[in-house]
Structure 1
Amino acid sequence: MERLLIEGGTVLTMAGPEAVYADGAVLVEDGRIVYAGPRRGAPEVKGARRLDATGQIVMPGIVNTHCHAAMTLLRGYADDMRLMEWLQTKIWPAEAKMTAEDVYWGTALAAYEMLSGGITTFLDMYFPADPVARAIQDTGIRGIVARGIIAVGGPSEALSRLEESREAFHRWNGKANGRITFMVGPHAPYTCPPDTLVACAELADELGIGIHIHLSETAGEVEEARRQWGKTPIRHVYDLGLMRGRHVVAAHCVHATDDDIAILAETGTGVCHCPVSNLKLASGRTPVSKMRRQGVAVGFGTDGASSENMLHILGSEMRIGAIQAKELEGDPAVFTAYDAVSMATIEAARVLGMDAEIGSLEPGKRADIVLIDTERPHLTPNHDLYGLIAYSALPSDVTTTIVDGQIVYERGRLMRMDGREIMARAREAAARIVKP
């Protein structure tokens, strides 16, 4: 039995605002948490590897609810453009040149970056599925694979993507000690006609998995939906039956109406909030606080590195998202630091339907844990732990990232792969796919 004892740090469990232990301990056995609380109350253990966390925060792994991981290869390639122009003239043509090996190295680079900033789980929508799953396996991160499905090439293209999704599910779902799982990934209503969306729902039911989709990301998308179907994208998808009786994770939902929010709440649809990407693309501001007041689970997502540029929740999405939520409603008290940390951990896990397994440090859950060094000038002094994490902490403050009880990143080093090789391979692939 493998045992790991993390002791001496400030343990923030996210089991509730008060569940913080200044001189705490976390005991892990065979990848699961056995104890999280005050060090004085920790059980006696023999043969455990001991990790001294003095001067550090010990918290649950951060959850990235929406990512296009291999788009790390397009980081900085097409900045300062409008969304549809960006997609149609730059991103989609470059992606058409990507090989499966390119996707593998781009995803590995994303995993390296995310682990370095304390992200232990991510939901990815990209293509093809096999290299994404292989990169998850090799780097040690936890990932949900949603093979992007579009029908712009006609029904036959959609059918082939659905079949690829089915085959990849049977090859990879549950592999890497359960770190690899799947969702069905229809890209959006504007790239998937109704028959494709219905086929995606049927595949999700067949495989017993959820659905990940982009919804109401831009004002133009909503206007076009009203023109074409006489309703918003969220109402359109709801009326098709996609959101009924199955777990759906919706990215962005920037232009959600009150009726849309009621639908999200009624159906238990989780929302991925990507504030930096939305701001950079001038897509708008998601009504996060209004959604949460209605009972909608909302978690932070990075989107892809070609729009957000960085794949970090800490110091990026969390900080900017919290500030934006306050500004949107004109009330600094409407969205707290605890809300921000919750949306990066336990609430994000709830969005993905994984809160029984991850998102907090509680006995029985998977041991996905992050250590943050507080011995930094920008983290001194510490009047409020949640405020420190939400508003001051940076990805570079992360010293150790643990997934399934295994240390996969420690003090600048990716433990299971050579980080230098990943970056070199990614540079080679990026240069080729953007070459005219």
Structure 2
Amino acid sequence: MSTIAIFGSYVLSREDGRQHVLRDHWVLLEGKTIAAVTRNKPRADQVYDRPSRFILPGLLNLHNHCFSEAVARSHTEDGNGCRHDQSIVYTVLLPLTKRGADLLSPEERLAIARLGILQLLKGGATTVMEPFRNTIPEMFDAAEEMGIRFYGAPYLFSTSDAKAGPDGVVHYAGDDGAADLVTWDALYQRWHGRGEGRIGLAMSPHATDTCGPDLLKACAARARELGVPITTHLAQSRAEVETIGKRYGGRTPAEYLDWLGLLAPDLLAAHCIACTDDDLKLMAARGATVLNCPRVFARRGVTAPFSRFAEHGVRTVVGTDGYNMDLLGELNAASIISKTSSQRADVANSPELIESVTATAAGIINRPDLGTITPGATADLTVVDMTHPHLQPLYDPRRALVALANRANIDQVIVDGRVLVDQGHYGQGDEAAITSAGAAAIGRIWELPEAREVLAG
């Protein structure tokens, strides 16, 4: 069994169930397991003794969209592509990812998937939950090949072509989502447990306004039968709230899910920016989780403060959604946006935000072996280089991590005891080739007439 010893000037440990920063300790990995955390330098096959490293449990990013993020990149800033008080989900992302998945070859789709996984790893994530169209199964191939811990969440829809009509509302009739459930089952049978257990599936009915009651209930029943998480988009916009209210007797999106039995501890609900205070109280009572992705909304001038959800007692974690894929940068945004919107400096503090992408996130997906640096835990680590000028002089590594650091400071990413990123570089493949191939494939989508129309500006 191979062994790795890593020196940390700072190691994020736990003491009496709370975060505790150890000074000048070694973390010893034996195979896929953390064997020891010790002051004394252990003997090991590989030794990494670098100054001023902050060793964290592997960071968990429970909401990201590799493919659609790439489709929209550098086009949808400054309000481009938005209309009808709708997010760009229904005007840009869903239509173009559907068209792109149909247009591109499997190898081209794989190239985009690799580009996304590369960014996630270089951004410090060891685990990702990734909702995507079920016509892009190459996401699984890329994740297995590149070594990340991956919860694939192929979408299910009640309509085969989810996009906003002229009135800004997603209409559907005739489809019931049964075919998507069959596809999800086939992907589960093929992929769940692959990659020596690193690959899993989550059930992902897309959103409240694209999934009817029968499909949502069927998704929940199947997910609970298999014991997998359920993730969906909830209250992403005022338009969604109005649509659900008209369809289902004045219910809010959260009340709609509660009516159907989905609002429960196994539900991970992305965004929730249009939830009322009563909705959040209901979510807290049911034990549901909010996946907070503040930057994707901030670029539209919309606040999505982590602190609002947390202060209502809702379990809240931070993800990157379809924008930027820099998890450390997202923690910084969650902090600043919360402080600005509440006009309080003490909310969304550094330990709380770090907890949201380590121990809290691991608990949500029922993986107590992740999100912690303790003997016996799984050997997933994120190591940050704190020697950069903007991080020095250094007093509190947690505050520096959230307030000042970003993905450029990621030194190592280790998954299952395997060093995937070292000194900031992905070591299992050619970064330049991965980037070039992925960008070229996205370029083919950008050349489509419908893409030129919606992305013009």
Counterpart residue identity of residue 369, structure 2: E
Distance 1:384 1:271 in 2: 28
Distance 1:11 1:236, change over 3 A: same
2:349 to 336, 347, 351: 336
Distance 1:278 1:144 in 2: 24
| 1:73-118 deviation per Cα after TM superposition (whole angstroms, max 9, x unaligned) | 3122333232736334432332122244443222211111111121
Report the number of matched residues.
424
Counterpart residue identity of residue 35, structure 1: A
Residue of structure 1 equivalent to 2:39: 39
Structure 2 unpaired stretches of 5+: 161-172, 450-457
1:289 to 307, 317, 325: 307
Q: Provide TM-score, normalisation by structure 2.
A: 0.87
Counterpart residue identity of residue 2, structure 1: S
Q: Provide TM-score, normalisation by structure 1.
A: 0.91
Residue of structure 1 equivalent to 2:21: 20
Tell me if structure 2 keeps the 8 A contact 1:65–1:351.
Answer: no
SS at match of 1:123: strand
Trace 1:54-133 onto structure 2 (pairs within 5 A). Answer: 54-74=51-71, 75-79=73-77, 80=79, 81-82=81-82, 84=86, 86-95=88-97, 96-98=99-101, 99=104, 100-128=106-134, 130-133=137-140
Distance 2:197 2:177 in 1: 28
Residue of structure 1 equivalent to 2:358: 345
- 1:18 CA drift (Å): 5.4
Deviates more, 1:1-10 or 1:367-376: 1-10
% same residue = 28
Distance 1:14 1:103, change over 3 A: farther
SS at match of 1:9: strand
Distance 1:9 1:101 in 2: 43
- 1:157 CA drift (Å): 6.4
Distance 1:18 1:182 in 2: 29
Tell me if structure 1 keeps the 8 A contact 2:58–2:380.
Answer: yes
Tell me if structure 2 keeps the 8 A contact 1:2–1:30.
Answer: yes
SS at match of 2:247: helix
Distance 1:65 1:328 in 2: 24
Residue of structure 1 equivalent to 2:273: 254
Distance 1:20 1:97 in 2: 46
Distance 1:341 1:85 in 2: 28
SS at match of 2:159: coil
- 1:256 CA drift (Å): 2.2
| 1:354-412 deviation per Cα after TM superposition (whole angstroms, max 9, x unaligned) | 3x021121222211112211111100111211111010112111111111111001124
Residue of structure 1 equivalent to 2:4: 4
Distance 1:253 1:85, change over 3 A: closer
- 1:8 CA drift (Å): 4.6
Distance 2:375 2:68 in 1: 36
Deviates more, 1:135-144 or 1:357-366: 357-366
Distance 1:21 1:3, change over 3 A: same
Distance 1:34 1:115 in 2: 23
Residue of structure 2 equivalent to 1:139: 146
Residue of structure 2 equivalent to 1:403: 415
Tell me if structure 2 keeps the 8 A contact 1:255–1:284.
Answer: no
Deviates more, 1:359-368 or 1:160-169: 359-368
Tell me if structure 2 keeps the 8 A contact 1:216–1:253.
Answer: yes
Distance 2:346 2:186 in 1: 48
- 1:72 CA drift (Å): 3.9
- 1:145 CA drift (Å): 0.6
Distance 1:19 1:358 in 2: 16
Distance 2:90 2:282 in 1: 31
Distance 1:48 1:9 in 2: 21
Tell me if structure 1 keeps the 8 A contact 2:156–2:181.
Answer: yes
SS at match of 2:92: helix
Distance 1:133 1:18 in 2: 33
| 1:38-90 deviation per Cα after TM superposition (whole angstroms, max 9, x unaligned) | 423x7x54x53211132211111221121111224312233323273633443
SS at match of 1:67: coil
Distance 1:337 1:102, change over 3 A: same
SS at match of 1:12: strand
Distance 1:370 1:279 in 2: 27
Give the RMSD, CA atoms, in angstroms.
Answer: 2.1
- 1:133 CA drift (Å): 1.1
Residue of structure 1 equivalent to 2:326: 312
| 1:331-357 deviation per Cα after TM superposition (whole angstroms, max 9, x unaligned) | 111231211222232223233333x02
Tell me if structure 1 keeps the 8 A contact 2:7–2:53.
Answer: no
